Amino acid sequence: MTSGSTGRRIGLLGGSFNPAHGGHRRISLFTLHALGLDEVWWLVSPGNPLKPREGMAPLQARYASAVRQARRSPIRATVIERELGTRYTVDTLAAIQRRYPKHEFVWLMGSDNLAQFHLWRDWREIARSMPIAVIARPGYDGAAIASPAMAWLRRYRVSTASFAKGGEWSAPALVTLRFDPDPRSATAIRRADPDWATRHAGKSLRDQVTHRPIPSGEETTTP
């Protein structure tokens, strides 16, 4: 896919994907259909200082798990942050919009991320750059509703139906989505299968968005 291709409506879901699992896939497909998106891109983060580095698998293993979960679906796994050289989410999203100016993007996040969104660098700028869709996460709804970010975003809420109808997207805009909670978590998967990352070691992989080989090494990306 290149910046010269036909414009599409794309959801961006960032995370460690340590590992990617069926819950990520289910949330992404639900959101894709609810919002009338063409694709969802998973932004597999090189690292996140808001999460402990202990137990964080190498980028290649996490990306490989994302590719596997995205198979036979309109989900594309990418490590585009490595190529862009961006450190903060606000800069990553701005760079993606510059690279793909014909596409329309919406930032996807769980309610657990909304609860701490006000801690992210230039979070209001993120909200001004593209619409945000928040997906319910079990146990986090109260904290999300009471968060400083929600206090600011509440005035920009739009219904899912009006958002999905098409037309020109504008930002700030907040859409909240609810569906049957998915209890799966990467933490539980790591406990049950602590050696999952070794099965993905040494694989030759290409980025599903940029089509470039996945580089070696680790970097840190900060919300």
Q: How confident is the model over 68-94, as pLDDT tens digits?
A: 999 999 999 999 998 898 989 999 999
Q: Does 46 or 77 have the greater pLDDT score? A: 77
Angle at 121 between CA 99 and CA 78, to 5 degrees: 40
Q: Report the predicted TM-score, pTM, of the whole model to 2 decimal places.
A: 0.86
Q: What is the mean pLDDT of residues 45-55?
A: 65
Q: What average pLDDT does range 11-19 have in this prediction?
A: 94
Higher pLDDT, 107 or 86: 107
Please compute the mean of the pLDDT values over residues 53-73 and round it to a whole number.
88
pLDDT value for 1: 37
* pLDDT score of 143: 83
Confidence at residue 46, expressed as pLDDT on a 0 to 100 scale? 86
User: How much of the chain exceeds pLDDT 70, in percent?
Assistant: 78
pLDDT at 215: 62
Considering only residues 220 and 23, tell me which one the structure prediction assigns the higher pLDDT.
Answer: 23
- The confidence band for 142, taking pLDDT boundaries of 50, 70 and 90, is confident
What does the pLDDT average to over 109-134?
Answer: 95
CA distances from 222 to 18, 116, 123, 128, 184 (A): 16, 13, 12, 19, 25
The pLDDT of residue 214: 81
